Amino acid sequence: MTKTAWVFPGQGSQAIGMGADLYSLAAAQAKFQQAEQILGWSVPEICQNLDDKVSRTLYTQPCLYVIESILADLMRDRGEQPDLVAGHSLGEYVALYVAGVFDFESGLRLVKRRAELMDAASEGVMAALLGFDREQLEQQIAQTPDVVLANDNNAGQVVISGSIEAVDAILANVKAKRAVKLNVSGAFHSPLMAGAAAEFQEVLDQVEFRAARVPVLSNVDPTPATDAEVLKDRLNRQMTGSVRWREISLQMPEAGIERVVEVGPGKVLTGIIKRTCPTLALVNVSTLSELPTPAPVA
């Protein structure tokens, strides 16, 4: 059997109309209704809103969690199972759900609070850099207070996060093929999120974590783990810690993974992974039509 990892994208992969082909499925309808009771608003309505409400953090994170969870459930209904899971930022919550660490409702309640706190963040900015000198970037970050490497996606694509002045200083001093500030409310995955992280911990402490059924590679510590307390501690550090996706990608071949399935809208993660691990077979499941054929009944 080919060892397979499932990966789940985070904020930035959302799109107007995502999940539209799921609305008519009875199993999906049940999840959407459950989500509406928890959230107080409709995931399908937000995703179909032409004013791009789905790109506001408050809505983006719960919408991605719900749609990715439904797709993962449909995968499992068809006889598919991962040998390893990982998620990019928000996607880590879906990975933990799929690994059986908490149930759908508990995960969505965590994501709802996380989205509220991050949407309310107003301090700092984030910027993406593509095609840069890594050594120069790391030197500049080390010399500049109040800025960190927030997302280390692959060798040529990163996101920095910090105060406006610090991020501007990095952009002025590091040559890059492309550098762009992100349309987010605050400096996510940086120490500037410490206040929000402290509030979030109060909610996280109330959720019981179970041992994972399959190993999870966490954003802040990209080594396989199944222990409930370890996974909870890692998630607790995620809001202020860096997303170490390049290292997560490198861990997959080390763990014997040969195939990676990105479950969720878009092809962000497979595009990132391809550069780091070109030998891995990459598959995308973002719509019903991309789901695998159901396994034959014996």
For 136-176, the pLDDT digits (tens) are 999 999 999 999 999 999 999 999 999 999 999 999 999 99
- Residue 231 reports pLDDT greater than 70: yes
Residues 84 and 165 in one domain: no
One domain, residues 117 and 129: no
Any domain includes 295:
no
Give residue 261's pLDDT.
98
Helical pair 134-143 and 164-173, crossing angle rounded to 10 deg: 140
pTM of the complete model beyond 0.75: yes
189 counts as catalytic: yes
Q: Which two tokens stand for residue 273?
A: 């992974």
Catalytic residue among 55, 189, 242, 249: 189
Residue 99 falls inside a structural domain = yes
Q: Which of 89, 161, 249, 286 is catalytic?
A: 89
Share of the chain above pLDDT 90, in %: 94
User: Is 119 in contact with 58 (CB distance < 8 Å)?
Assistant: yes
Total structural domains within the chain? 2
> Which strands, in side-by-side order, build the sheet including 259-263?
216-217, 84-87, 4-8, 259-263, 281-285
Q: For 101, how many CA atoms within 13 A lie in the half-sphere containing its CB?
A: 32
pLDDT in tens, 188-202: 999 999 999 999 999
What Cα–Cα distance (Å) separates residue 70 from each residue in 149, 159, 223?
Answer: 32, 29, 26
Q: How many CA atoms lie within 13 A of 220 on its CB side?
A: 15
Structure tokens at 272: 């990132």
Shared domain check, 277 and 206: yes
Closest by Cα among 107, 124, 123 to 115: 107
Candidates 122, 81, 87, 82; CA nearest to 107 is: 87
Task: Note whether residue 176 is domain-resident.
Answer: yes
CATH of the domain at 166: 3.30.70.250
296, part of any domain: no
106 with 238, same domain: the answer is yes
CA-based angle 291:215:2, to the nearest 5?
50
Residues 21 and 132 placed together within one structural domain of the fold: no
Q: What is the pLDDT of residue 296?
A: 61
Q: Is 124 helix (H, G, I), strand (E, B) or coil?
A: coil
* Boundary (domain end) residue, out of 163, 181, 199: 181
User: Do 23 and 51 reside in the same domain of the chain?
Assistant: yes
251 and 221 in contact (C-beta within 8 Å)? no
Instruction: Give residue 56's domain range.
Output: 4-121+190-290
CATH of the domain at 64: 3.40.366.10
What's the confidence (pLDDT) of residue 294?
74
Whether 37 and 133 map to the same domain: the answer is: no
16-73: pLDDT as tens digits: 999 999 998 999 999 999 999 999 999 999 999 999 999 999 999 999 999 999 999 9
Q: Which of 153, 181, 209 is the last residue of a domain?
A: 181
Q: Which of 151, 181, 211 is the last residue of a domain?
A: 181
Give mean pLDDT, residues 93-100.
98
